[in-house]
Amino acid sequence: MRIGIDISQISYQGTGVSRFTEGLINVILKEDNINTWIFFYSSLRNSLDPVLKEKIISSRHIVVQYKIPSTILAFLWNSLHILPIELFTGKLDLFISSDWTEPPSNCKKTTIIHDLAFTRYPETIHSKILANQKKRLYWVTKESDFIITDSLSTKNDLMHYFNFDENRIIVIYPGVNQTVLANIFTKKTLTKFHLKEPFIFTVGKIEPRKNLKRLIAAYLQLKADDSIPDLVIAGQKGWEDESDFLPKKNKKIHFLGYISDTELADLYRSCLFFIYPSLWEGFGYPIIEAMIHKAPVATSNSSSMAEIAHNSALLFDPLDIDSIAHAIKELIENKNLRLDLQKKGTIRAEDFTWSTYYQKLIHIINKNIL
């Protein structure tokens, strides 16, 4: 088969969808010696990583790259719905669209839907993104032969909000990179960001859905003395300015901005515990990443987060500041709880491998296409 897939979202470094896309590309290159994959990439300003591009070129697969702005493609494909994807990729048996655009095609189509947060919390989504997602989902529900979701939570949202046929939705949990870096330069990373152990860590794009305002409010309920670890927040800016909720002159709260994968691993492994207070997620990569690096985890009891964490994290209500504060306090004071969650999390993380994801994906493709 000739399978086309849009990998343009890999350009948004530091996001869950970028990590997902990179992991999927790598497992396809590693494991598929039968089909030909055509990787479609388009971005006006960001070039495809040259190392990854060379890996594709040197394989039996194909990469096609264009410098077309994502806004233009969204207009052509989501609004006008013109120009079949085959004009860019050549003949295909199947096309897998991204979470941003839905081009017409002459072949069968599927899409991987990571989350439908814009249906649950539209007020936390930028108006342009919200409008684009609604247009895209219209074509997805109209034209996709089947849909792949990251969780049962997202599957249920699809059925609830779009009345999509349950039998055409397949849940496959994404893989998470299980490689623990051998050389952890913890002291170097902490020195760079002027951090001292112990500290509480969270990561995510700085935007409303990540719920950092309530996290900070909960943290500030605790008595800010030397017994309370600092709060460290990593993540690039989204569409909400961090200055809107950053307490002025609070030396115990640190915004690091975008950090490298090595620095991220260092902070997971160095923190007292990891907390993820997002309002709604289709999967929640940082939960499993933290578990891989042996960090005790506290996360929201909503959407996929409780599903993914299973019984291996301390859950709280992300809409309730007191609930978040209670979870923080409990994990600070209860060493046995931290050790228990650390042990359970390490075991839970082993369930999320890219090889398993690929085997399930190719099985579903063969079943629906051949």
User: The domain spanning residue 46 has which CATH number?
Assistant: 3.40.50.2000
The mean pLDDT of the chain is 92
Q: Is residue 6 part of a domain?
A: yes
Q: How confident is the model at residue 184 (pLDDT cuts 50, 70, 90)?
A: low
Q: Given a cut of 90, is residue 126 above it in pLDDT?
A: no
Examine the domain organization and report whether 104 and 118 are in the same domain: yes
Q: What would the 3-class secondary structure string for the chain be?
A: CEEEEECHHHHCCCCHHHHHHHHHHHHHHHHCCCCEEEEEEECCCCCCCHHHHHHHHCCCCEEEEECCCHHHHHHHHHHHCCCCCHHHHCCCCEEEECCCCCCCCCCEEEEEECCCHHHHCHHHCCHHHHHHHHHHHHHHHHHCCEEEECCHHHHHHHHHHHCCCHHHEEECCCCCCCCCCCCCCHHHHHHHCCCCCCEEEEECCECHHHCHHHHHHHHHHCCCCCCCCEEEEECCECCCCHHHCCCCCCCCEEEEECCCHHHHHHHHHHCCEEEECCCCCCCCHHHHHHHHCCCCEEEECCHHHHHHHCCCCEEECCCCHHHHHHHHHHHHHCHHHHHHHHHHHHHHHCCCCHHHHHHHHHHHHHHHHC
Q: Given a cut of 80, is residue 90 above it in pLDDT?
A: yes
pLDDT at 117: 84
pLDDT mean over 325-334: 97
Examine the domain organization and report whether 139 and 235 are in the same domain: no
pLDDT mean over 96-118: 94
pLDDT at 251: 85
Q: Given a cut of 60, is residue 212 above it in pLDDT?
A: yes
First-to-last alpha carbon distance for the chain, in angstroms, is 9
Q: How confident is the model at residue 108 (pLDDT cuts 50, 70, 90)?
A: very high
Examine the domain organization and report whether 90 and 154 are in the same domain: yes
pLDDT at 227: 82
Phi and psi (nearest 5°) for 353? -115, 150
Domain extent at residue 98:
2-175+353-369
pLDDT winner (highest mean) among 42-51, 120-129, 317-326: 317-326
Q: How confident is the model at residue 206 (pLDDT cuts 50, 70, 90)?
A: confident
Q: Given a cut of 80, is residue 224 above it in pLDDT?
A: no
Q: Given a cut of 70, is residue 46 above it in pLDDT?
A: yes
pLDDT at 357: 97
pLDDT at 111: 96
pLDDT mean over 139-145: 94
Q: Is residue 27 part of a domain?
A: yes
Examine the domain organization and report whether 140 and 204 are in the same domain: no
Tell me the sheet residues that pair with 48. none
Q: How confident is the model at residue 366 (pLDDT cuts 50, 70, 90)?
A: very high
How far apart CA 368 and CA 339 sit, in angstroms, is 44
Examine the domain organization and report whether 218 and 115 are in the same domain: no
Q: Given a cut of 80, is residue 35 above it in pLDDT?
A: yes
pLDDT at 245: 60
Examine the domain organization and report whether 205 and 154 are in the same domain: no
Q: Which residue has the higher pLDDT, 369 or 272?
A: 272
pLDDT at 241: 54
Q: How confident is the model at residue 178 (pLDDT cuts 50, 70, 90)?
A: confident
Q: Which residue has the higher pLDDT, 341 or 98?
A: 341
Q: Given a cut of 80, is residue 238 above it in pLDDT?
A: no
pLDDT-above-90 percentage for the chain: 77
pLDDT at 13: 80
Q: Is residue 139 part of a domain?
A: yes
Q: How confident is the model at residue 247 (pLDDT cuts 50, 70, 90)?
A: low
Q: How confident is the model at residue 124 (pLDDT cuts 50, 70, 90)?
A: confident
Q: Is residue 133 part of a domain?
A: yes
Examine the domain organization and report whether 228 and 342 are in the same domain: yes
pLDDT at 99: 86
pLDDT mean over 169-176: 96
Examine the domain organization and report whether 300 and 361 are in the same domain: no
- In a 13 Å sphere around the CA of 254, the CA atoms on its Cβ side amount to 21
Q: Is residue 363 part of a domain?
A: yes
Examine the domain organization and report whether 98 and 82 are in the same domain: yes
Domain count, the chain: 2
Examine the domain organization and report whether 157 and 249 are in the same domain: no
Phi and psi (nearest 5°) for 290? -60, -40
Segment among 225-239, 244-258, 343-357 with least mean pLDDT: 244-258
Q: Is residue 180 part of a domain?
A: no
Burial of 117 per CB tally in 10 Å (0-12, 13-18, 19+): buried
pLDDT at 239: 61
Examine the domain organization and report whether 190 and 171 are in the same domain: no
Q: How confident is the model at residue 214 (pLDDT cuts 50, 70, 90)?
A: very high
Task: Cis check for the bond before 208: say yes or no (omega within 30 of 0).
Answer: no
Q: How confident is the model at residue 267 (pLDDT cuts 50, 70, 90)?
A: very high
How far apart CA 215 and CA 231 sit, in angstroms, is 10
Q: Is residue 181 part of a domain?
A: no
Examine the domain organization and report whether 135 and 245 are in the same domain: no
Q: Is residue 93 part of a domain?
A: yes
pLDDT at 50: 95
